[in-house]
Amino acid sequence: MTHPLTRAVREALKSASDSAKAPQMQAYMKSPMPFRGVSSAAQKALWKRIFPAHPLTSRVEWQRVTLELWRGAAFREERYAAIALTDLRVYASYRTMASVRMFEEMIVSGAWWDVVDAIATHQLGDILRTDTPRMSALMRRWARDRDMWRRRAALLCQIRFKQDTDLELLYDCIEPNLDDPRFFIRKAIGWALRQYAWVDSREVRRYVRAHKDRLSPLSVREALKNAD
């Protein structure tokens, strides 16, 4: 039986749909899954109304509803709802190693930057802060994984950490990807370094110089944007 929160999300998205915007959004995101045509701002307004009206009282229920939204999505905004639901502060205690498998499924099956980046920089980052040893070990494994999106997630999981960034972990995630020719990996390397440059631009410049023969031009450009 479909959970009331899931029904509320689907009904609200249907009511807010815009048939003119939907194909434009799908084309921009290069998404095989269609859109309802609901803008990001409109989605946030819907979630603000719907989520508090349907509180989830256990981690099991939270995960069940998340996967119901995710796996049963007919439109991409339903997956955005699942991501937003799992990022709520009220469910922070549910974001633990026990939920990593769910987030991994979302990353691998979502397999695109909008999904992966949101989960990596928020949900995975939160778990890394609260269970550092186990999550650090997992991110090091993901950084060498066969799946590109697991690799990108590992590279980006500390994006919001600023001065709390574990440089050893960051470099351990970058190193096995230095020779990867794929755009989304090269961009992620540059982005991760660029964010840390806000904290220590001298260190980022040092790292770029030390690895100039392996870093791609894209990674270098991105890394040095904040290293002036």
pLDDT tier for residue 63 given thresholds of 50, 70 and 90: very high
User: Using one digit for the tens of pLDDT, what is the confidence trace for 39-55?
Assistant: 999 999 999 999 999 99
DSSP letters along the chain, please? ---HHHHHHHHHHHHH--TTHHHHHHHHHT-SS------HHHHHHHHHHHHHHS---SHHHHHHHHHHHHHT-SSHHHHHHHHHHHT-GGGGGG-SGGGHHHHHHHHHHH-SHHHHHHIIIIIIHHHHHHSHHHHHHHHHHHTT-SSHHHHHHHHHTTTT-GGG--HHHHHHHHGGGTT---HHHHHHHHHHHHHHHTT-HHHHHHHHHHTTTTS-HHHHHHHHTT--
Q: Mean per-residue pLDDT for 185-205?
A: 97
Looking at residue 177, its pLDDT comes to 98
User: Using one digit for the tens of pLDDT, what is the confidence trace for 136-162?
Assistant: 999 999 999 999 999 999 999 999 999
pTM: 0.96
Task: Map out the domains of the chain with their CATH numbers.
Answer: 1-94 (1.25.10.90), 100-228 (1.25.10.90)
Angle at 44 between CA 41 and CA 48, to 5 degrees: 145
CA distance 111 to 115: 7
pLDDT tier for residue 128 given thresholds of 50, 70 and 90: very high
